Each structure stands twice: as structure tokens, then as C-alpha cells.
Chains A and B, each alone.
Chain A
Amino acid sequence: MSSAPGSGQILMSPRPAVGATVSLEGVSKRYGAVVALDEVSLVVRNGEFVCLVGTSGCGKSTLLNLIAGLERPSSGVVDIGGRRVALMFQEPALFPWLTARGNIELALKARGVHRAQRAREAGQLLGTVGLADFAGARPHQLSGGMRQRVALARALAQDSDVLLMDEPFGALDAMTRDRLHEELERIVQKRALTVIFVTHNVREAVRLADRVIVLSSRPGRIVEEIAVDLPRPRSINTSDVAELAAVITTGLHDQGGEAGGRH
């Protein structure tokens, strides 16, 4: 089930592994002459937390868009088994004319939840992200961290099996980010969510992930996969996280000249 040692390509299998939630087979994406993603194959298991790291321009966001169905691959197969996918961006992307509660209720409404139940569920979700007292606040009245919490609650309101996160905490200060890491870890474990999380911060990736996937840039390829076996709950400031992150970072730097080769 888990990946064999070696490069990412080994994960190619005729059918997705048992328990696979998201599987990509030989997925390429080209924009004209630019190859954003080249033959990427990846299997994410049910309940797994996968972090994609890589320098900017390595096609991380493209990969998320492909999984979310917002773009189509130029070749290859993306299989999410008809599962619902919720997206979260670096910007909260909240609707400014709606309150925190209204934003969450709209996601519930889009899902077809009844009015009475919407109010109840929205209240619970606000509690989950620690914003029960800010239900009536509009996005511009909230701090950056609070807005991202609302965005997280809204993504959870979509009740999807897979949560795709595109550098969701990239614009936050370190303390707010640490707190959100803890909350995300708690929520993901409680709800058994499958998460694909894009970041350029290697320590953040090690802090959160069960598995870290390193992408090379131009063309974007999987160059390395690292299983993170550190016990949870983790902290971004402990030495084991820092050490593993340092190893991965070195690998990232080395990969510059021989991108695409065996790591």
C-alpha cells in the first residue's frame, strides 16, 4: 500500500491501491510550450495528510486545480472516485457581503442542507474553529487568522472527503499559524479527512504531513517522497521536525541541477 522506496514513479499501478482517495496517473499539464506538470503519479490514501513542497512555479497549485476539477490535465488520469473536494486558498476568499455565519451557511445551502439545519450546523462549525462569538462579524471586521478560520469552517461545511489547501497559512504571522496548525491537526484527525496541502515552507510540511512530496520546478515532477513518522501532536519548533525539514531542504537545493533524476 505504501510507496516503495525510490522515486515517485514507482507508485504507478494499474488500479488505485485499496483505500485510495485521490490517484493521479501520468498526469501532465502544459500551457502552450510551458510544461507545468510532467508525468506526475501520486496516490493519496484515505485519511492521509500529504504535503506538497517545492519552489514557486513548480506547479503545486496546478496540481490542486486538477484534483479539484477546476482544470483538465493535458494527458494522464486524475481519479478522485467521484468524491467531493473542498478548496482553501492563501486568501480567505470569503464573500464580503456575508457574515462569518452567512459564508458558512451559503456553503451548506449549496450542498442542499435545509434552512433550520443550516443554522445549527453553521453554529457548530464556528465553534469548531473557535469563532462562536464572531458569527455576526463580516470578513473585513476579522483579523487575517480569523478569516482563514472562517474559510476553514466554510470548507468543512462542504462536507467533502478531501480537503485541498493551497498555502492556506502563507500570509499569517508565525504565532497565528502555529495555532491554526494545532486546530487543523485536531479537526483532521477527528473527522478522518484526507488532506492535500501545498506549501513552500518545508517545516510546515513536516509539522503537518504523514507524507511529504517534493516537486521539482519546470517541469514539475515528483522528485522525492518522505514518510513522516514523528509522533503527533507535533510542534513546528521541536528539533525532530527541524532536522527532518533540514534534510528535505538540502534535497530541494541539490535537485536544482538534476531535476527529474533519481533523487
Chain B
Amino acid sequence: MVATDLTAPGTWRPRLRTATTALGARSLAVVLVLGGWQLLYLSGWKPSVVLPGPATVAANLWQQLGDALLWEAIATTLGRALTGFGLAVLIGAVVGALLAQNSLLRKAFGPIITGLQTMPAIAWFPFAIIFFGLHNSAILFVIVIGAAPSVAVGVITGAEQISPLLLRAAHNMGLRRMALYRHVILPASLPMFVGGLRQGWAFAWRSLMAGELVVLITNTASIGVLLENAQNLSDMPAAMAIMIVILAIGIVVDAVFGFADRLIRLRWGLLDTGRQQ
């Protein structure tokens, strides 16, 4: 809040310390989970084919990481994710911008959009498969329908939350139409927009995983197909290794969004710098 915050070099050290502490806490949590798993495995509660230990799964993962098939599958799946999410962002942003500008449209279509958000993606698959057949487009359709509403809602709330005072100031400065949009409305709604993107991605990723398990396309390796194969072969170590890959991808992408989100909030002054964790 105060001007003394500006002495930037001094704030680095404590920031580094909190970062190391956070990293330590996270590693500890992972160690605890792995330890619990190992104990459960050692207890002999389930046969090792049904519940393999961490070492077995790690070995399987390591082996799969050396196999081109896994990377091919990751490439297919991420390609779909990016295409689907990209389409969802495009459609969501356009719809959101239209609704943000017109309150009548917003009143009419707002409830439909929030309704779509609450709809589980998997419920769309029968529709999508009948409509598109067992094709990539069925999966992409479900990703878009799952993620676009969140993006649109982000755009709408972003535009709604702009302070009228800022708009008055901008108006008084002589900013109109495109200049007003580019210099004030867009940056002012950016934090909300990024929040919408992040949530949209979460929906997209879930829809994609569901889709790859339901819409099996022949001769294409994807993460969903690898999971399905593991299930058919009752190969638990392989299934769990793939799950770890899915988890890792989710965490990495979410971290990217989280980083962007924090960066924007920090710049916009929405984050209380004195209260960081």
C-alpha cells in the first residue's frame, strides 16, 4: 500500500524464502502420499497385480517414457486439447463480447450459458457421437461446449466489473470506441478473462479425457487409448503410470495459468503484496 514497497531489491529475499518454504512443503506432501501408498502396498491388503507399489509404477512409467508410443499419444492428446481449447476461447470470447455489449442479449442468453456450465461434459457424448460419428470432431465438440461457457462468463464479468469511475475518467480524457476498448475495457477485464480461461481449460481437459475413453478412434494412439488398453489388459502399473502423466500435464498447464493470473493480479494491484502466503 505504501510507497516504501517500491524498494524492490529488498523484497526479493523474503520472496525467495517463501518460495523455498512452499517448495519444501509440497515435496513433503508428495513424500507423505508416496509413503502411505507404499505402506498400503506392503500391508498386502490387495494383491500386487491390483495394487502395485510406487516402485513398480515408477519403473513402468520410466519404461513408457522411453517408448515412442507414449509421446505419440501425448502429442495427439495435447493437439486435441489445444485445438479444442483454442476454438472454445475464440467462440467464448466472441459470444462473451457480444453479450457484454448488449444487456438484452445478456438477460436472454445468460441463464443458458450458466446452465451449460453446470452440465457434465460426458452427458454430451451420446449426442456428439450420433451427430459427428466416432471422429475427432465429436471430441472437439464436447471440449468446446464444456470450455466456451467459462470463457464467455469471464469476458462478461470482466466487462461488468469495470468501475464506472474509470469509464468516466476515460471518457473525459477523450477515449472513444476502439481506443476506449483497447486501452481501458480490454485491460480492465483481463484478470477476469484469465480466470475464465483457466476454468475453461479445466473443463476442456476433463472433457477431453472423458472423450478419449468414450470416442475410440482406430489406429490413433492417444492418452485415452493407452488408458483403455491398460484396462483391457488389466495392466494396473501401466494404467497408473498413464494417470501420473495426465496429472503432470494438468499440473503444468494449471501452473502456467496460475502464473499468468498472479502476474496480472500483481500488476493490476489486485493482490495484497503483504499477504502472499
Q: B177 interface residue, CB < 8 Å from A?
A: no
Q: Once the chains are docked, how many angstroms separate the CA of A109 from the CA of B179?
A: 10
Q: A22 interface residue, CB < 8 Å from B?
A: no
Residues on the B chain within 8 Å of A137, using CB: 3, 6
Which of B51-59, B108-116, B166-174, B229-237 contacts the other chain? B166-174
Q: Once the chains are docked, how many angstroms separate the CA of A97 from the CA of B183?
A: 10
Main secondary structure of the interface of B (DSSP, over half): helix
Nearest-neighbour CB distance to chain A for B169, whole angstroms, equals 4
List A residues 131-159 near B (Cβ within 8 Å). 134, 137-143, 146, 154, 158
Contact A70–B168 (Cβ < 8 Å): yes
In the complex, the number of residue pairs spanning A and B with C-beta atoms less than 8 Å apart equals 63
* Nearest-neighbor residue (CB-CB) of A145 within chain B: B3
Q: A106 interface residue, CB < 8 Å from B?
A: yes
Contact B165–A89 (Cβ < 8 Å): yes
Q: Which of A86, A97, A139 contacts B190 (CB 8 A)?
A: A97
Q: Mark B121-165, 1 if CB is under 8 A from A, else 0.
A: 000000000000000000000000000000000000000000101
User: Chain A interface: which size bin?
Assistant: 20 to 34
Knowing A89-B165, A93-B165 are in contact, say whether A138-B269 is a contact too (CB < 8 A).
Answer: yes
Residues on the B chain within 8 Å of A87, using CB: 168-169, 172
Q: Once the chains are docked, how many angstroms separate the CA of A250 from the CA of B169?
A: 35
Residues on the B chain within 8 Å of A139, using CB: 269
Q: Which of B174, B188, B190, B267 contacts A138 (CB 8 A)?
A: B267
Q: Once the chains are docked, how many angstroms separate the CA of A110 from the CA of B165?
A: 17
Knowing A95-B187, A97-B187 are in contact, say whether A111-B172 is a contact too (CB < 8 A).
Answer: no
Nearest-neighbour CB distance to chain A for B188, whole angstroms, equals 7
Knowing A89-B165, A138-B269, A140-B269 are in contact, say whether A95-B172 is a contact too (CB < 8 A).
Answer: no
Q: A91 interface residue, CB < 8 Å from B?
A: yes
Q: Which of B168, B174, B184 contacts A95 (CB 8 A)?
A: B184
List A residues 85-125 near B (Cβ within 8 Å). 85-87, 89, 91, 93, 95-97, 106-107, 109-111
Residues on the B chain within 8 Å of A95, using CB: 166, 184, 187-188
Q: Mark A59-70, 1 if CB is under 8 A from B, else 0.
A: 000000000101
Q: Once the chains are docked, how many angstroms separate the CA of A71 from the CA of B124?
A: 50
Q: Which of A96, A106, A107, A109 contacts B268 (CB 8 A)?
A: A96
Nearest-neighbour CB distance to chain B for A142, whole angstroms, equals 6
User: Chain B interface: which size bin?
Assistant: 20 to 34
Contact B267–A70 (Cβ < 8 Å): no
Residues on the A chain within 8 Å of B173, using CB: 106-107, 110, 154, 158
Q: Once the chains are docked, how many angstroms separate the CA of A111 from the CA of B173?
A: 8
Residues on the B chain within 8 Å of A143, using CB: 1-3
* Nearest-neighbor residue (CB-CB) of A87 within chain B: B172
Q: Once the chains are docked, how many angstroms separate the CA of A107 from the CA of B168?
A: 13
Most chain-B CB neighbours within 10 Å: which of A86, A89, A91, A141? A141
Q: Once the chains are docked, how many angstroms separate the CA of A95 from the CA of B165?
A: 10
Residues on the B chain within 8 Å of A107, using CB: 173
Contact A141–B3 (Cβ < 8 Å): yes
Knowing A93-B165, A95-B184, A134-B6 are in contact, say whether A110-B175 is a contact too (CB < 8 A).
Answer: yes
Q: B5 interface residue, CB < 8 Å from A?
A: yes
Nearest-neighbour CB distance to chain B for A54, whole angstroms, equals 21
Residues on the B chain within 8 Å of A146, using CB: 3
Nearest-neighbour CB distance to chain A for B8, whole angstroms, equals 10
List B residues 180-219 near A (Cβ within 8 Å). 183-184, 187-188, 190
Knowing A95-B166, A96-B269 are in contact, say whether A141-B171 is a contact too (CB < 8 A).
Answer: no
Residues on the B chain within 8 Å of A111, using CB: 174
Nearest-neighbour CB distance to chain A for B92, whole angstroms, equals 22
Nearest-neighbour CB distance to chain A for B263, whole angstroms, equals 11
Contact B3–A89 (Cβ < 8 Å): no
* Nearest-neighbor residue (CB-CB) of A164 within chain B: B172
Knowing A97-B190, A140-B269 are in contact, say whether A91-B3 is a contact too (CB < 8 A).
Answer: no
Contact B187–A85 (Cβ < 8 Å): no
Nearest-neighbour CB distance to chain B for A147, whole angstroms, equals 10
* Nearest-neighbor residue (CB-CB) of B269 within chain A: A140
User: Which residues on A are within 8 Å of B, measured CB to CB?
Assistant: 68, 70, 85-87, 89, 91, 93, 95-97, 106-107, 109-111, 134, 137-143, 146, 154, 158
List 7 contacting pairs A-B, 8 Å CB cutoff, sorted by A.
A68-B172, A93-B165, A93-B169, A106-B173, A139-B269, A141-B6, A154-B173
Shortest 7 CB-CB contacts between residues of A and residues of B? A140-B269, A93-B169, A87-B172, A110-B174, A110-B173, A97-B187, A93-B165
16 A-B pairs besides A89-B168, A97-B190, A141-B6 with CB distance below 8 A are: A86-B172, A87-B168, A89-B165, A91-B165, A95-B188, A96-B268, A96-B269, A106-B173, A107-B173, A110-B179, A138-B267, A138-B269, A140-B268, A141-B5, A143-B2, A158-B172
